[in-house]
Amino acid sequence: MTTRVTLPEQRARETRQRILKAAERVFRREGYGEAAVEKILDEAGISRGAFYHHFSGKEEVFKALLDAHLDEGFSEFAGVGPAGSLRAVIERFVGLLIEDMQAHLDSKGLPFEFLAQATREEWARGPFEAFHRKAHDLVAEALRSGQRAGSVRSDLDVRAAAWLLLAVSEGLCTFKAIDPEVFDPEALAETWADLIERFVRKQS
């Protein structure tokens, strides 16, 4: 049975989204440290009362944006699954990493603002830790599955390998954010997949 949304509930949802979109623009432009609730109010065109009806302050808004960003990233990782061959799985993995890299660039630095805040505040660090551990476990389990199927070499330390594979992606994303002209992610895809395959494949 579908629950009907009342007009006040719909308006409340729309106001919350308006605040989040405005805060996203302010955090991207000003950075977390320089952002202020007043700037978010001006950007959203809402009253102070409307803001505090939904959020206790800029920290809670920032945390909501961070959680949404990480949830989206994890759902992409969870999409990596059986694809008929080791190479197909690797290409799908690389493709998702490239899509994630492009999303970071399209966000004009906001993901790096999330990361910077995570180095300073426990409330921002915790969600990142949980995300990275879940992403790591997914990659490690995919490698274990490959070992059980006989396509991934049995001597591979899958936990160490998973961290290394994720670290390469993070590093490339940082390089690209600092110097957008340094490389074309799509042009790296085949070589990236080759490196992973040579690293993990069981030799016949």
Contact 199, 161 (CB under 8 A): yes
Name the more confident of 37 and 71: 37
Average of per-residue pLDDT across 123-131: 91
pLDDT of residue 8: 74
Lowest-pLDDT range of 94-108, 117-131, 190-204: 94-108
- Superfamily name and number for 1-55: Homeodomain-like (1.10.10.60)
- In angstroms, the CA 39 to CA 49 distance is 14
- In angstroms, the CA 146 to CA 83 distance is 12
User: Amino acid identity, residue 143?
Assistant: L
Q: Is the pLDDT of residue 154 over 70?
A: yes
- In angstroms, the CA 138 to CA 131 distance is 11
Tell me the per-residue pLDDT of 168-203, one tens digit each, with 9 for 90 and over: 988 998 888 888 888 888 899 999 999 999 999 988
Buried b or exposed e, range 4-16, using 16+ CB within 10 angstroms: eeeeeeeeeeebb
- In angstroms, the CA 116 to CA 38 distance is 22
Closest CA to 92 of 203, 197, 9: 197
Domain residue ranges of the chain, discontinuous segments joined by +: 1-55, 58-200
pLDDT of residue 58: 93
Tell me the per-residue pLDDT of 50-97, one tens digit each, with 9 for 90 and over: 999 999 999 999 999 999 888 887 776 666 655 568 898 899 889 988
- In angstroms, the CA 174 to CA 189 distance is 17
Architecture of the domain made up of 58-200? Orthogonal Bundle (1.10)
Tell me the per-residue pLDDT of 10-31, one tens digit each, with 9 for 90 and over: 888 899 999 999 999 999 988 8
- In angstroms, the CA 22 to CA 54 distance is 14
Average of per-residue pLDDT across 102-129: 85
| Beta-carbon count within 10 A of 163 CB | 15
Q: Is the pLDDT of residue 2 over 60?
A: no
| Beta-carbon count within 10 A of 183 CB | 12
- In angstroms, the CA 176 to CA 106 distance is 12
Average of per-residue pLDDT across 126-139: 91
Q: Is the pLDDT of residue 1 over 60?
A: no
pTM over 0.85: no
45: left (phi over 0), alpha (psi -120 to 50) or beta: left
